[in-house]
């Protein structure tokens, strides 16, 4: 199992399917530190967003961000947002 597959397993564990709750994954490319952060975010309608960091990937994953996003979307069915 590679690191991306482990991240997907973690996302599936956190995804609880509560009513009136929005779930999404955010992939952030940190330009200056050359890292990629992946967050699991959820919020109930009208409430504050809860964000939990799932992974911090090294610079070699920066080129693979589009593939990572596609794989997470395909395997989890969640919305994936990014800053790129």
Q: Is the pLDDT of residue 39 over 80?
A: yes
Gap between the Cα atoms of 19 and 48, Å rounded:
16
- The arithmetic mean of pLDDT across residues 75-83, rounded, is 93
- The arithmetic mean of pLDDT across residues 17-24, rounded, is 92
Judge whether 25 and 76 are in contact, CB under 8 Å. Answer: yes
- The arithmetic mean of pLDDT across residues 42-70, rounded, is 93
CATH code: domain of residue 74: 3.40.1690
- In this structure, what token pair is assigned to residue 17? 């399917």
Instruction: Tell me which residue range forms the domain holding 40.
Output: 1-80
Say what percent of the chain tops pLDDT 70: 99
Count how many domains the chain has: 1
């Amino acid at each position: 199992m590679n690191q991306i597959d482990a991240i997907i397993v973690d996302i599936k564990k956190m995804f609880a399917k509560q009513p009136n709750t929005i779930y999404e994954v955010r992939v952030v490319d940190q330009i200056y530190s050359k890292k990629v952060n992946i967050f699991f975010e959820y919020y109930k309608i009208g409430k504050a967003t809860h964000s939990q960091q799932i992974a911090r990937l090294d610079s070699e994953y920066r080129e693979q961000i589009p593939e990572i996003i596609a794989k997470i979307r395909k395997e989890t069915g969640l919305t994936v947002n990014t800053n790129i």
